[in-house]
């Protein structure tokens, strides 16, 4: 989970993920809109692959990257659990503040 959030903490990697939501892309296609060298793009892809968010395959001279939805799903599930917990706490606080006891404090 830490690797997923580390990977998502960088804007360039998030941009790559967003591009991959449209379908597979070659490394060159991912690098095109970015103002960085191809080796720098490859370093970002290595982080994304290590986190389980992206997988790539090489056919000849072309490396094609694919989004791995399960990696994003893990992060989404964790965030959803956190959101549910906080919503429950806020609901309890709201109920307390609306109660007679909360109004007397």
CA distance 90 to 84: 10
**What integer pLDDT is reported at residue 103 of this predicted model?**
67
Domains and CATH numbers, the chain: 1-102 (1.10.10.10)
Contact 75, 4 (CB under 8 A): yes
pLDDT of the chain, 105 residues: tens digit per residue: 899 999 999 999 999 999 999 999 999 999 999 999 999 999 999 999 999 999 999 999 999 999 998 888 888 898 898 888 888 888 888 888 888 776 665
**DSSP codes of every residue in 16-54:** HHHHHTTS-EEHHHHHTTSSS-HHHHHHHHHHHHHHTSE
Q: Is beta strand 25-26 parallel, antiparallel or unpaired with respect to 62-67?
A: antiparallel
The strand ranges marked E within 44-91 are 54-59, 62-67
**What integer pLDDT is reported at residue 72 of this predicted model?**
87
């Amino acid at each position: 989970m830490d690797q997923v959030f580390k990977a998502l903490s960088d804007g360039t990697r998030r941009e790559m993920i967003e591009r991959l939501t449209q379908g597979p892309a070659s490394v060159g296609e991912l690098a095109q809109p970015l103002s960085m060298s191809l080796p720098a793009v490859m370093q970002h892809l290595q982080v994304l692959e290590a986190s389980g968010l992206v997988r790539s395959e090489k056919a000849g001279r072309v490396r094609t990257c694919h989004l791995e939805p399960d990696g994003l799903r893990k992060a989404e599930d964790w965030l959803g659990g956190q959101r549910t917990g906080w919503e429950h706490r806020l609901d309890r606080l709201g109920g307390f503040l609306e109660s007679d006891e909360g109004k007397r404090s």
